Structure 1
Amino acid sequence: MQSTITGELTNAEDVLTILNPRTGEPVGSLSVAGTDDVAGAVAAARAAQPGWAATPPGERGKLLREAARALDTAAAGLAELNAQETGRPLDEALAGIAAGVSTLEQYAELGPVHRGHSLRGNALAADYTVAEPRGVAVLLTPWNDPVAVACGLIGAALVTGNSAIHKPSERCPHLGKLLGEVVAPVFPPNVLVTLTGGADVGTLLTQQPDVDMFAHVGSSATGDRIARAAVLTGAYVIRENGGNDPLVVDADVDPGWAAEQAAIGAFSNSGQICTSVERIYVHRSIAEPFCHALAGQARDRNTEHPLAPLVDTRMRDTVHRHVAEALQLGARAIEGGTVPVGPGAFYPATVLVDCADTMDVMAEETFGPVAPVRVVDSFEEGLALAAAGRYGLAATVLTGSIAHAQQAVAALPVGTVKVNEVFGGAPGGAAQPRGESGHGFGYGPELLDEFTRVKVVHIAAPPAREAAPPAHETDGAAS
């Protein structure tokens, strides 16, 4: 079986056609995997998995390092496809691929030392745990950082002895296909298989009884469908899904610096990051200079350093619908807020003030370069509003008060709390999203635990055998 399965071209409904979001021109078309392709991929991965699981962990790690080198060699071509399909600037695409290389190398090191635990029991017995692969893992990855995210899941899945079926986002299928062609040949046949397609292919995968787990990074709606389907098949599910991450700005911080942090959080990658700042609560005492500085940050991005486009016009329509609804309900745009004329899927950095929490731009994941602001009268009010909502991915607090920082850590029901820096953090900082943002660890050493299940072993010595009587005693008894 090929490492990448795209099916056969049959009719228009079976083809993914991608348009360049900068120009609106076609990037290309790919056929999608059909029902037989999906079933065949699962069967092939199932057949390959026992042999891969029996491969020594050190050898699996060695092959993962080879995959990292292959990825590094192919970085230029992958970055170019990333830029063409998603509009991501070439330097950022290259940075994402470099992150993918580093992630594969990280799991190549962590995998062979992933270990169980000894358990305290009888002094004359041995009790310990063994981590075993779950089996066949389906990896469903997004378009906004496609190589880095895919490498994290692929690395953790393979180094722990699972076989993997990777379905990249239908918004970057050429990139996903090429990634499979670069990485999969390093491993034994069918240990890693790539399937191209849209939601129909994902649905077919959730119906396969021989899939043991799903790892999904993407929208909350899709993650919820996967989790519901897995109830019927018994597959294990981890997912990092949408967010509506708040930023709370305290009264005692410099408003210009706070505006810079807000702009980084709201406008980086054109707002297309799971942990983007999606709603802002600023203390009334610094609200005016903060909003003025934030509008300036947005204006600079709209004139001096224009943002990259959104991934496609469908995404832009969603973003603008949220903005237009907010404006209709009483919000004001002090920068941006209009769809630009011309080709592509561009949207300006936008700052909205006088926002209410009932507006979609505050309550939902907008996933675009929009910074909606609500003024609050106290840090406690901002914190309470930030803690409300269905999502639980991450949150940021800007404050000079250690007491307020500690309050935020205790009160915010999210997987990651960031204090005084919207992005950053140490390597391996895995977190568990909550609510509609997902379930399970998505990164770091803990991801190896997600891709394995634990077996407890208890070994005790058998009782000593009774000694046989001496031979002369036996002879005497007989006489």
Structure 2
Amino acid sequence: MAPHATENGATNGTSQSGGLDFTTFSNVIDGKLSSTQKTRHGINPATAKANPEVPVSTQEDVESAMAAGKKAAKQWAKTPYAERQKAVLAWADAIESEKDGFAKLLTQEQGKPLHFAAFEMDFTLQIIRTMANLELPTEEIIDEADRKVLVRYTPLGLTVGIAPWNYPVLLTCSKIAPCVVTGNPIIIKPSPFTPYGGLKVVELAQRFFPPGVVQALSGDDSLGPWLTAHPAPAKVSFTGSSATGKRVMESCAKTLKRVTLELGGNDPAIVLDDVNVDEVAPKIATLAFLNSGQICLALKRIFVHEKIYESFRDKMVEHTKTLKVGEGFEKDVFLGPIQNSMQYERVKGFFEAIDTEKYNVAVGGKNPEGPGYFITPTIIDRPKEDSRIVVEEPFGPIVPLLTFSTDEEAIEKANNTNYGLGASVWSGDVERAAKVAKELEAGSVWVNTHFEIDPRAPFGGFKESGIGTEFGVGGLKSYCNSQTLYLKKK
């Protein structure tokens, strides 16, 4: 079921106690909560029941937000860096005070188990605070007798941030924090499947930023193209699929907007023959099925040395059977539902290939019936390496288990993809693993772990996994013009 449209007005505000009201949702334009005549609603993916109504923005709403953002840009750029940092950190404190409400909202709209929703909120706060505490000083490149050359970083201007549905609050805030701390206003477009958390963090931001600095527009499929094609923004930051990322980049090219694209992945894990199978196999299974496989960085192709393949497969299967599938508020649930019907049908297509491509199923293969978009975690035992389950990114809890005989073969197989987001190497010999890791074509490569992101370090992808980087000082610079200043001394 896609988000459903109705004719209605939306209101919003704070509860009687002064905290956020998590039952009503609005656009945020020029510091004010804004309703629309037409609304729609998302679907709770665990129950298939309707979530609350949200606005469907019009072109007039887009124009109003663009005008407010451009108006706010000059004054916000002139606001001292320290004051901008203070505002972002105060916003983070306010989010933390509402953390439990946000976590419950995430489980309701995204489907992830409540303890993973709490993790998303904790990591969101870490990202905001890390980015806000980074400094972006003027760099002195040359200081000679007759001249000085400086490099300074100035705000680009109004930015559009487009967030996906798998980590809706985290990825919204990871765009807002570096954008506004470097002096740029931002318009957030949350996913129509998960608009709720994004609208609320922007609503909360109005307490700490001048009108027009942090805005949000909820909408349907028309909204993204309106935003990316509009001449006012200087940049678009997009997180989502590679296919959509290409369309975003094409739209931005017409006005030469800057773009940061964090796109899909088909992350390999290389498991060398010297690992402790009992320790590593459960970790690999956990990382493959985290967030029901709906992570761009989730393990999606698992290459195991042929010497240990059978024992490793059996241990992975054993652990996978312990992973509970269910509604996110239930106790001990590890896998919630697939977030939306469109992705659910796509993932089910990989299960249909079990019969047509004659896959060997090591565990799983049958999905539960009833309401909700639930998928049983499934491991495919040694499919053909040109099969769909190996070549494409399912973005769901179904993974292929494959073999190799030498380190060189593992590297070649891991790099045989159009993606290059993340990868990991697992070994009892860190030096051997590091040697393999350095040959992998991916923006983030881990040894003996995976998915451990530090917002102080740059994050981005090779090949069709993205353009540019987020996080770290480089992430701040991506929201800036680089100006080289030549000072001739007397």
Alignment correspondent of 2:108:
84
Q: Structure 1 residue 333 and structure 2 residue 361: aligned?
A: yes
The farther-off stretch of 397-406 and 71-80 is 397-406
Question: What is the 5 A alignment of 1:301-320?
Answer: 301-302=323-324, 305=333, 307-320=335-348
**Using a 3 Å threshold, how does the CA distance of structure 1 residues 298 and 135 change in structure 2: closer, same or farther?**
same
**Using a 3 Å threshold, how does the CA distance of structure 1 residues 274 and 4 change in structure 2: closer, same or farther?**
farther
Q: Structure 1 residue 381 and structure 2 residue 409: aligned?
A: yes
| SS across alignment from 2:438 | helix
| SS across alignment from 1:395 | strand
Percent sequence identity is 30
Which digits, 9 at most, give the CA deviation of each residue in 1:45-93, with x for residues without a partner?
0111000000011111111111111111222222222111111122221
Asked if the contact 2:131–2:471 (Cα under 8 Å) also holds between the matched residues in 1, the reply is no
Q: Structure 1 residue 57 and structure 2 residue 75: aligned?
A: no
Name the structure where helix makes up a greater proportion of residues: 1
Q: TM-score, normalised by structure 1?
A: 0.91
Question: What is the 5 A alignment of 1:99-110?
Answer: 99-110=123-134
Question: What is the 5 A alignment of 1:164-183?
Answer: 164-183=186-205
Amino acid of the structure 2 residue aligned with 1:353: D
| SS across alignment from 1:114 | coil
Q: Structure 1 residue 142 and structure 2 residue 142: aligned?
A: no
Alignment correspondent of 1:422:
450
**Using a 3 Å threshold, how does the CA distance of structure 1 residues 207 and 5 change in structure 2: closer, same or farther?**
farther
Cα RMSD, aligned residues only: 1.8
Question: What is the 5 A alignment of 1:170-319?
Answer: 170-302=192-324, 305=333, 307-319=335-347
| SS across alignment from 1:261 | helix
**Using a 3 Å threshold, how does the CA distance of structure 1 residues 201 and 6 change in structure 2: closer, same or farther?**
farther
Which digits, 9 at most, give the CA deviation of each residue in 1:326-383, with x for residues without a partner?
4421311121122211111111111110212222211111111122111222232222
Residue of 117, 134, 144 corresponding to 1:93 = 117
The farther-off stretch of 292-301 and 322-331 is 322-331
Asked if the contact 1:269–1:308 (Cα under 8 Å) also holds between the matched residues in 2, the reply is yes
- Whole-Å separation in 2 of the counterparts to 1:273 and 1:418: 16
Residue of 91, 100, 114 corresponding to 1:67 = 91
Asked if the contact 1:220–1:438 (Cα under 8 Å) also holds between the matched residues in 2, the reply is yes
Q: Structure 1 residue 41 and structure 2 residue 65: aligned?
A: yes
Which digits, 9 at most, give the CA deviation of each residue in 1:407-446, with x for residues without a partner?
3233211101111112325452223311111011122232
| SS across alignment from 1:94 | helix
The farther-off stretch of 430-439 and 384-393 is 430-439
Q: Structure 1 residue 393 and structure 2 residue 415: aligned?
A: no
Residue of 146, 161, 167 corresponding to 1:124 = 146
The farther-off stretch of 429-438 and 227-236 is 429-438
Which digits, 9 at most, give the CA deviation of each residue in 1:396-416, with x for residues without a partner?
111233453243233211101
Asked if the contact 1:330–1:354 (Cα under 8 Å) also holds between the matched residues in 2, the reply is no
Q: How big is the shift at 1:94? A: 2.1
- Whole-Å separation in 2 of the counterparts to 1:332 and 1:80: 38
Where structure 2 has 5 or more consecutive residues not aligned to the other structure, the ranges are 1-28, 326-331
Q: TM-score, normalised by structure 2?
A: 0.89
- Whole-Å separation in 2 of the counterparts to 1:5 and 1:202: 20
- Whole-Å separation in 2 of the counterparts to 1:74 and 1:277: 32
Where structure 1 has 5 or more consecutive residues not aligned to the other structure, the ranges are 463-479
Amino acid of the structure 1 residue aligned with 2:230: Q
